[in-house]
Chain A
Amino acid sequence: MLRTVRLRLLVRGISEVDVKTQRVADIYTGWFVALVGVFVLISSTWISEAGIHRLSPRTFPHVVGFLLVACGIGLALKSWSLRTEGPTIAWPDGVGVRTITITLICVAGYIALMDLLGLPLATFAYLAIATWYLNRSRWLMALMIGLITGAVSYYLFIRVLGLSFPAGVLFE
């Protein structure tokens, strides 16, 4: 009986992802964490046991995996058994989601292009674009910030301090 109820919840949950309240969110998160735990347990079976030791290199991963599975299921069941829904989760609205996504894409682009364009150029590009995106009217300030920071990062980090940041196509 319990199994069918749980299964139905899972199926219903997947078909209409309506994670608005704390309680529902915790149920999904609980199962997800348990899944991660299972993943850890499976991956740890490939760990080699070579060498002389009293503490197998597999022990900790097994403990961690087990903890994740137990707590994950515990969380899911505990939340499922609650009567109150708990507070609602403050998911971002459409504008918020778009802003976050674009911001993340900018950062990802920054990292991806760093090795190619080099630190100064990538920094300039990122700062100019990201700053402009957050405040469209101030594009000149965005450009200046990008330029100054790019130049500073070149001189300070690469020339003066000699750190091994990629200098990029422009300065190699």
Chain B
Amino acid sequence: MRRFAGGSLVFLTVLCLAWAGAASAAGFPTKRITYNICFNPGGESDITARFQEQPLKKILGVDISVNYKIGGGGALCWAELVTTKPDGYTIAGHNLPHIALQPLEMGNAGYKTLDLKNIYMFESTPNLLLVRSDSPYKTLKDFVEYAKKTPGAVTVGGSGTSSANDLGTTMLNKAAGIQLTYVPFGGTGSAIPALLGGHVTALMTYSTMGTQYAGKFRALAIASETRMDVLGDVPTFKEQGYDIVEGAYRGVAAPPGTPDEAIKVLADAFDKVMKDPEVKKKMDQNGFKTEFMGPEASLALVKKKMVEYEVIMKDLGRIKK
């Protein structure tokens, strides 16, 4: 009996080893990739990831598993990313200016801007000021006038702290000489119900919400250089006298120390995905502007923005000079 047990033990072990040997790793990637989203479901990062999921799977040949790590305006997710094993199998969506602003403003955000290893920057969305369709403010002028009369009482919701929405509100405050109160939400996905229910007066959100909720919301201004095609009748802040051009760039990043080969494979995959005509069509329809920045280009953008934002933040009084 004992010998039988011993024999079967050896046999099973050999079997396992043989199986393991047969299944050797070919190249990167060989198993599922986890794609972390740092904001609430329903938001821009989420929507884009949904568009990318299928094409990425086709190109990389492995499953993409979308995960949520919500909190701190994205800080939670990025702080966790920098401690994750850098084997290339975990990536997270990242946003400018958030990754530049948060370490500046928070002191210790749990990560440093340049720790996040850039893979790709695939889109940008300018800030959009929205009110409900039944709100009394028909133009930006009405809104600003009202805000002048009631400093601090007008609430503007947005996604995250030290984010594009947050910064955009501060910029508007300075440019128009008003005092809007910014209310941070875990993501655009949770800010929308707040406006639908009238709990905040307006939203400083992204262009995507202008297209999606066209029937329910009225867009007062968009923070881009020129009007967006898909939001043709929304005037820019610039047109209306306020020199505000701000929005979020979105991309994906990997933990520091991820091998360059893995980064290259991922970057190429994302590049192909963003150039896919189907994907491009969906992005345009939904109010996104597609970008095509690989690892070097996106790192250059991050560095450039870091310098720019430090100046802006000091100027706005958000950080000490």
Which residues of A does B touch, CB under 8 Å? Answer: 48, 50-52, 120, 140, 143-144, 147, 151, 154, 159, 162-164, 170-171
Contact = CB atoms under 8 A, between A and B. Distances in A.
Contacts of A164: 31-32, 34, 89
Contacts of A151: 12, 16
28 contacts: A48-B106, A48-B107, A48-B108, A50-B105, A50-B106, A50-B107, A51-B105, A51-B106, A51-B161, A52-B182, A120-B16, A140-B5, A143-B5, A143-B9, A147-B9, A154-B16, A159-B23, A162-B31, A162-B32, A162-B63, A163-B32, A164-B32, A164-B34, A164-B89, A170-B16, A170-B17, A170-B20, A171-B16
A8 to B, nearest CB: 45
Given A50-B107, A147-B9, 15 more contacts: A48-B106, A51-B105, A52-B318, A120-B16, A144-B5, A147-B12, A151-B12, A151-B16, A162-B63, A164-B31, A164-B34, A164-B89, A170-B17, A170-B20, A171-B16
B65 to A, nearest CB: 9
B162 interface: yes
Interface in B72-101: 89
Q: Can you list the 4 inter-chain pairs with the closest CB atoms, starting with the nearest?
A: A162-B32, A171-B20, A162-B31, A48-B107
Contacts, number: 36
Nearest to B31: A162
Question: Which of A50, A147, A154 gathers the greatest number of chain B CB atoms within 10 Å?
Answer: A50
Interface in B299-321: 318
Interface string B1-42: 000010001001000110010010000000110100000000
A33 to B, nearest CB: 28
Nearest to A144: B5
Interface in B105-125: 105-108
Contacts of B162: 51
Contacts of A52: 182, 318
B159 to A, nearest CB: 15
A140 B162 CA distance: 60
Nearest to B15: A151
A12 to B, nearest CB: 45
Contacts of B182: 52
Contacts of B318: 52
A92 to B, nearest CB: 34
A170 B12 CA distance: 14
Contacts of B63: 162
A143 B4 CA distance: 13
A158 B156 CA distance: 47
Contacts of A163: 32
A144 B8 CA distance: 10
Contacts of B34: 164
B90 to A, nearest CB: 8
B146 to A, nearest CB: 21
A50 B5 CA distance: 65
Nearest to A52: B182
Contacts of A50: 105-107
